[in-house]
Structure 1
Amino acid sequence: MRSSARSTRASAAIDRLKRRSGNDNYSMSMNSGAMFSLLLATGGGESERLCEPMMMEDFVAFVNAYGPQTPKRVSKLDIEFSKQLTKKSE
């Protein structure tokens, strides 16, 4: 059960990367030592390994930082709050 939860967290990171990049060719591999690697399909059934095998926490952090990043959403309230902070500091 523990391995399944671990691979689900890693799979979710891969899904987020696919959405951010628009590339569905990313995948992961997991070896018997519960080490994960990021793979990119290059065609002809071949895959390129994009990182060395790493523990799940490190793998998720690597995948989250890999590729294009989603810009943070900023609300109107956040903008107004920032303006008030700069006024007070002047």
Structure 2
Amino acid sequence: MPGARSTRASAALDRLKARSGNAGYSMARTGDGLFFLSEKPGAPPLCAPLELDAFVAFVNGLGPQTPRRVSKLDVAFEKQLVRKKP
């Protein structure tokens, strides 16, 4: 299932490009199936070759983070949790 693996990694890369505004980020895959990231094709890698889960976590941690969306129902639920603690 190598296609799903690279799709998950490329989706993380697309999210990073959208968050940072830098369309030059590039992902590469080694023969062992490990992933690494560089700022542009041919540039030195920003990380050592990583497994898929570690790579996605690394890419998700880079750049500005998008704020978590919170609905008014979430806020009301949080207030109830705080109020009900003994």
TM over 0.5: yes
Task: For 1:10-49, list aligned pairs within 5 A.
Answer: 10-41=9-40, 46-49=42-45
Query: How does the TM-score come out when normalised to structure 1?
Result: 0.83
2:76 corresponds to? 80
Superposed CA RMSD in Å reads 1.7
Number of paired residues? Answer: 86
The whole-number CA distance in structure 2 between the counterparts of 1:17 and 1:48 is: 18
The answer to which structure has the higher strand fraction is 1
Report what 2:63 is aligned to.
Answer: 67
Task: Output the TM-score relative to the length of structure 2.
Answer: 0.86
One-letter code of the match for 1:87? R
Distance 2:49 2:61 in 1: 16
| Ranges in structure 2 where 5+ consecutive residues have no aligned partner | none
CA distance in 1, matches of 2:16, 2:7: 14
The letter for the 1-side match of 2:13 is I
- The alignment-based identity, stated in percent, is 55
Structure 1: state its 5+ residue gaps: none
> C-alpha deviations, 1:27-60, integer Å up to 9, x for none?
101111101001102xxx6413110001112111
